[in-house]
Amino acid sequence: MDDVKIILPCGFSTLYKVFIEKSPDEDCFVCGLHKLNIQECLKMPFNELNLKQKELDIEINQLINSKFKLEEFKLDPDYYISLNLDKVKNELSLRREQLKLSITCQIDHYYDDLMNQVNEFYKEKKNTFQKDIISIDKFEKNSEIDQMNDDSPLNVKIDYLEKAIGQIKYKADFIDKTIRKLRNHTVELNLSSIKNLNIREFFGELTQNRNKEDPKDYKLYNEFKAHQDCINDLKLIGNDKILTASNDKQIKLWNLRTNSCIMTFKRQDQSIKRLCVLDNETFASCDSVSIKIWNLNLYEPKKCFGSRTTCLKLMKNGDFISSGFYSIFKWDLDQESVRKEYKGHYGDIYCLEESLDGKLISGSYDKTIRIWDENGLCINILKGHTHYVLSLKVLDSATLASCSYDKVIKIWNLNSGQEIKTLDQNPTFLLDLNAINNNILISGSQNGSIKFWNLETGACLNEIKNENNKKNSNFLFGLTIVSNKDKDLICGFDDGSIKIWKNDN
């Protein structure tokens, strides 16, 4: 096209390669007497004819070259077909041998590792039992009671019997607990179907079987005042530090071992609604006007962008997601710009979750739960709640739990989108969900209580009541539950306090 002659409106001419490099609507570079509209000039009949003729000449030459090449391929088509397929066959054979060798080695190594774990579980359980036996023997030696004197007054005899009953009951309870710990099967091999060459899915892996734990063994371990107002969110950093966000417009970093505040970040103009840990050094926060990116060691935020935001989520593939009114956004954090917008909800989006296969799940004021593909298309809508959805928890590859302002928990099949069951109604609306394992769900409610649910039976196994929580609290996210790797429960309340429960098991 470069050598095509272009006629200008003034009658002068130039070459296409010179003409096309000019800026739109600038003065004519030949006569300077008129504005040069490039698109209108190219549509002038003479110019359009010349360009079409040149395009035809180019296509004809391309056709001639293609026919010439075709004659070469017609002479020996088998050669050209096999040229590519033979390479693929060789790659397939090589890949098969590599996978066979790799899988065999992985299975052997993984089997040895599991056997070592079994042996360690055996040693640990036996050591625990032997220590309990030593403790029982010490009880027997140190808790002997003097014989009761028949001549003693009645009140002395009663005191003696109460003391004896207490000691005997304590020893009996300890012995029963020792027996239960020895008999309980705390380890099992979780088998799964072979879907791909992931060695853990192929072979299965050993896990501590938390199903055998008794949720009633959770005891309050620690509590401290963290903020002057409602704690809206908290996130673990490692296993001994925690970030907290509050209605008092502050974010704080705490050492859970010492209850000490390591860092107080710059007070904001708005209540901090949500936190999202991005890596070992940075985290994000959101409020009613923006998203901010922080460094754990710096007082002020590094970046500030976005608009009204209700929830944040870092996907396993590294995508940073936020939600607000009606829409969900996928962000480019370097450019502080939106890469993709997810549309479909008809109200505020209060919670975001990720399925095990990487799909985004959202719950909204419009009472629905939506599942999205990586292109931002809604592929399923889960309907059943009668009020807005406040929290979601993926339990396994096919199961999702949700809670709502309608005071119920619903369990869903992620594949079909069908509701599996509804757990018994609660006296107040539910704020957050977590899980000890696939069968024990934890819920936190507006009145500050925490409940443990058996997902197989739907029964409430235990309830931890918070008598000091505000009776008429109306905070939307007043309680947050985080379960760390030790299965402790770390909860933030609407009075600004943090409480930690540990399992005695």
Can you tell me the distance from the alpha carbon of 246 to that of 275, in angstroms, rounded to the nearest whole number?
10
CA angle 41, 47, 48 (to 5 degrees): 100
Which tens digit of pLDDT belongs to each residue from 112-163? 988 898 888 888 888 888 888 888 777 766 655 556 667 778 887 788 788 8
Domain boundaries, the chain: 5-75, 111-208
Q: Distance of CA 113 to CAs 109, 185, 209, 457, Å?
A: 6, 20, 18, 35
Which tens digit of pLDDT belongs to each residue from 280-321? 899 999 998 999 999 998 889 999 998 889 999 999 999 999
Can you tell me the distance from the alpha carbon of 41 to that of 82, in angstroms, rounded to the nearest whole number?
51
User: Which residue do the tokens 């901090």 mark?
Assistant: 272
Can you tell me the distance from the alpha carbon of 51 to that of 407, in angstroms, rounded to the nearest whole number?
70
Phi then psi for residue 252, to 5 deg, are -135, 150
Counted residue by residue, the chain has a size of 505
Kind and range of the H or E run holding 126: helix 77-142
Tell whether pTM > 0.85. Answer: no
Kind and range of the H or E run holding 345: strand 337-354
Give the pLDDT score at 21.
Answer: 61
Residues 6+ apart with CB under 8 A from 216: 461, 462
The count of other CB atoms within 10 Å of the CB of residue 259 is 14
Q: Which residue ranges in the chain fall short of pLDDT 50?
A: 199, 202-204, 206-212, 471-478
CA dihedral of 157, 159, 163, 166, whole degrees rounded to 10 = 110
Cβ proximity of 265 and 246 under 8 Å? no
